[in-house]
Amino acid sequence: MFKAVSKALEGTEWQVVGNALDGQLGIDKYIETRADVITLDVTMPIMDGLETAKKLVEINPNVKIIMLFCDG
């Protein structure tokens, strides 16, 4: 998914500031970067995308999240 999102953002005003392989690392990366928008895969290891999203909202109720389902 990382490559697909990064490629889709090429040539736009958006910049990828980090990637994470699982939900917990995603939360850690958000705390580090405070990115404007987060993309999450519903099916992530350790902590799925839905649980990760809930925790991100606890950290910042105004966080913007795009939820994806990537099969494969």
Residue with tokens 């917990």: 24
CATH number of the domain where residue 13 is located: 3.40.50.2300
Tens of pLDDT, residue by residue over 37-69, are 999 999 988 999 999 999 999 999 999 999 988
Domain with 34, as residue range(s), is: 2-68
Provide the 3-class DSSP secondary structure of residue 28.
helix
pTM of the model: 0.85
User: How many domains in the chain?
Assistant: 1
Q: How many CA atoms lie within 13 A of 26 on its CB side?
A: 26
Helical segments of 1-72, H only: 2-9, 23-33, 49-59
Tokens of 58: 């606890």
Question: 5 and 29 in contact (C-beta within 8 Å)?
Answer: no
